[in-house]
Chains A and B, each alone.
Chain A
C-alpha cells in the first residue's frame, strides 16, 4: 500500500528476501523492534549472566551462604567434626551474655576503639592539613605515612613485637636514654593495651590521612578568599569553613574507623594473643578461639551475630544523629 521504501532498506544484504511490499511501515518497525529487543535480551541477559556467573557463584558460596549458615549455626551446638548440628535454641546467646569473660572482651574492644579512633582521626586530619601546605618533601612524607597501610598486618605486628622487646627492643632502648626503666610492654597487664593502641593508630592513620586530604582539596578556594576579605584568621577559617565542609568525609571516616577497630584481629593475635591476663582479648580473637581452638561453632556464630548487632546499632545511631548535622552544614 505504501510503495516508497527507503532505498538502503532495500539494499540491506541481511534481509534480501524480505517481502517488503506486503508490510506496512508500522509492522516493519515492529519487527525491527522485536529483533532489537531480542538482541538486547540476548546480550544483556544471558550473556551478562554468563559473564557474572563465576563471581556470582563465588559470592553466593563464600559470602551469602556462610552469612545465613552462621546465623543458623548460632542456634545450634556443633563441633564441626560431626555431620549434624544439635538445635539448642537461644542457649548460645544466653550463655554468651551471662559469661563474664564475654563482657571483659567487650570492654577490651571498647577500650581499643576509644583509644584508637579519636586519636587516629585528629592525628590524620592534622597531618593531612599540614601536608597540604607547600613544604619541602611532602610527597615523601605522605608516602611514608601511607606505607604502614600497605604492609601486611602480620608483618607489622612482628616488627612491633621486636620493637617492644624488653631485652633488645628499640622502644625500651629509647626510654632508657631518658632514664626510664625498661618495661615488658606486651607482658604488662596495663601496658599491653596501650602498646596495641599505638600500633593500631600507626597502622591505619595513613588511609584516613589520604581521605582527609582528598576532602580538604575538594573545598573550593574562593570560600577562603572570601573569608580573608572579611578578615578571618587561620583558626576562624579552619573552624568555620574547613571543618563544616569536611563533615561528610569526617562522618565516613568515623564510621569506617569504628568498624575497623571493632573488628581488629591480626595485630592483636600476633602481638599479644589476647594476653597478658586476657587484657587485650578483643571480640574477634575471642570468636576465633571458640571457633577454631575449642570447636564451638555455634557459640562462635552467636558471638559473630552479637558483634554484627553492635555494629549495626552503632552505625544506625551515627547515621540518624549525625546525618542531619552533616548535611545541614553543606
Chain B
C-alpha cells in the first residue's frame, strides 16, 4: 500500500514537471496552418483604435487569402519594448512589430530587424515615386544613420486646441487663433484671470506642459517643446551626431517663451491633466494631437472648440511629425508575407480608410486624392488642420545614439528653467553638456 502511494506521488511529480516543461516549450512557432501563412503583429495602440485595426486586418486578409495576420495587443509602448527584448533573446520574436523610433538603435545594432531596402528594392518592392510621396519627416524617423529600417504606419502632429467661447468672452476673434509667439503670449495673458479674487487663477489661457523629467510624461513634454525649437530655427543635434545643438540661441528663445508663459500664467499650482481642465472650462488653449479627436467629440460636446495650426516662430512655421513604425524581424519565418502587409499599408486607399477609422493621419500626399478622404476632410475641419500641417511638419533628426537619454536631458532643461527658475540658456547648457558627454562615449 505504501509502495503504491509513493509511486503515485513520484509519477505525479514527474508528470507535473514534464508538463511544466511542455508548457514552457509550447510558444507558438508553428506558423503555417495548412496552406495559410500566419504572421504575428505586435502593437500597443490605444484601445479605442483596436476596432479600426481589426477591420483593417480583415480587409487585408480578404485581399490576400493566403496570409493570416495575428495581431497581438501589448498595453503600453514601454512594455512592448521589454517584450521585444525577451522575444529576440528567446528566438520567439513576432514577424512584424510596431515600435517607437527611440528603440531603433538598439534593434539595428543587435541585428534583429531587416533593412527596408531589402524589400523595397526587391521584386515585390515599392516604386521610387511611392517613396517620394511619403512625407520625408516620417522617413527620417524611420531611418537609423540614413538607412531605412522601418516604414511608418500612420502619422501624427501637434496643433493648437482652443475654446472659442472663451475667446469671445475675452474680446478676441474666435476665428483668428494666435498666429505668432507674440500673439500666443498676449492671448494667453488675456485669457488668464482670477475670478473670485482669492489670489489664484480660475481660468488659464494656455497650458505649458511641465512634467517631471524622469517621469512617464517627460517624452510628451519634450515632444511639445520641439516645434518651438524649430520655429525659432534650432536643431537637436548636428549632422554628424557628435554634438547636440539644442542649447543654441534658438533653443534659449524657445525655452524663454515657455518660461515666460509658465510664470506669467502662474502655472506652478496648475493641475497637469490639461484635458480635464479644458473640458471643465478652466483652460482656454493647449497643444494636442489628432488621436484625441474621437474622444473630444464626446468629451467636449458642450463646448465650442476648434483646432488651429501651431503659431509660427520668427524663423518659420513648424510642428512635430510623429507616428508609429513597423519593423520586420529577421527571426520571422515568412518575411515576404510580412512585407506584403507593410506594402499594403502604404497604399493610398488603405491609408485613407485607416486614417478615417482611427483618427491618425495618412503617411503620404497621394491619400489626399482619394475622393472619400476629400469628403471626409470637408466634413471634419478640425482633422483637416492636422492633415494640412503635415506639409511643414518636421521630424527631429532621429537620434542615432542615446536617444532616450538625450530626450530626457532636454526634459531636465525645461524643468530647470521653469520649476528650477534657472535662466533658459544656463539650463540648456547644463543639459547639453550631459548629452555631449554621452555622445563623446560613442565608438564611431
Residue numbers of A with Cβ under 8 A of B are 42, 46-47, 50-51, 53-54, 79-83, 165-168, 181-184, 187-189, 272-278, 281, 285, 289, 292-295
Contact = CB atoms under 8 A, between A and B. Distances in A.
A42 B20 CA distance: 24
B109 A166 contact: no
B237 interface: no
Nearest to B438: A294
A184 B110 contact: no
A53 B13 contact: yes
B82 A273 contact: no
Contacts of A273: 212, 214-216, 218
B415 A276 contact: yes
B268 interface: yes
Nearest to A101: B434
Interface class of chain B by DSSP: helix
B85 A182 contact: no
Interface string B200-221: 1000000000111111101000
A51 B415 contact: no
B404 interface: yes
Contacts of A276: 212, 415, 419-420
A272 B405 contact: no
A197 to B, nearest CB: 17
B215 A274 contact: yes
Interface in B125-152: none
B106 interface: yes
Contacts of A277: 213, 412, 415-416, 419-420
Contacts of A292: 78, 82
Interface of B: 6, 9-10, 13-14, 16-17, 20, 78, 82, 84-85, 88-89, 106-107, 109-112, 199-200, 210-216, 218, 268-271, 402, 404-405, 408, 412, 415-416, 419-420
A187 B110 contact: no
Contacts of B268: 184, 187-188
- Most chain B CB atoms below 10 A, which of A82, A281, A289: A82
B296 to A, nearest CB: 21
A145 B355 CA distance: 53
The 5 closest A-B pairs by CB, nearest first: A275-B212, A273-B215, A82-B110, A274-B214, A81-B110
Contacts of A272: 212, 215
30 contacts: A42-B6, A47-B6, A47-B9, A47-B10, A54-B16, A79-B106, A80-B85, A80-B89, A80-B106, A81-B88, A81-B110, A165-B271, A166-B270, A166-B271, A167-B271, A184-B269, A187-B210, A189-B419, A273-B212, A273-B216, A275-B211, A275-B214, A277-B420, A278-B213, A278-B412, A281-B214, A293-B78, A294-B402, A294-B405, A295-B85
Nearest to B79: A292
A166 B269 contact: yes
Contacts of B412: 277-278
B287 to A, nearest CB: 20
A183 B419 CA distance: 13
A70 B222 CA distance: 33
Contacts of A295: 85, 106, 404
Contacts of A274: 212-215
A275 B16 contact: no
A183 B107 CA distance: 44
B92 to A, nearest CB: 14
Given A50-B9, A166-B269, A277-B213, 4 more contacts: A82-B106, A181-B199, A184-B268, A275-B415
Nearest to B217: A273
Contacts of A83: 89, 110
Nearest to B107: A81
Nearest to A289: B214
Contact of B404 (A166, A183, A294): A294
Contacts of A80: 85, 89, 106
A300 to B, nearest CB: 13
A50 B419 contact: no
Contact of A293 (B13, B112, B404): B404
Contacts of A281: 214
A257 B369 CA distance: 67
Nearest to A181: B199
A183 B269 CA distance: 7
A50 B10 contact: yes
A181 B415 CA distance: 23
Contacts of A275: 211-215, 415
B404 A50 contact: no
A50 B112 CA distance: 40
A53 B402 CA distance: 43
A187 B211 CA distance: 8
A51 B419 contact: no
Contacts of A168: 271
Contacts of B89: 80, 83
A179 to B, nearest CB: 11
B432 to A, nearest CB: 15
A152 to B, nearest CB: 18
Given A274-B212, A276-B415, A182 B200 contact: yes
Contacts of A166: 269-271
A302 to B, nearest CB: 15
A56 to B, nearest CB: 11
A182 B269 contact: yes
Contacts of B6: 42, 47
Nearest to B85: A80
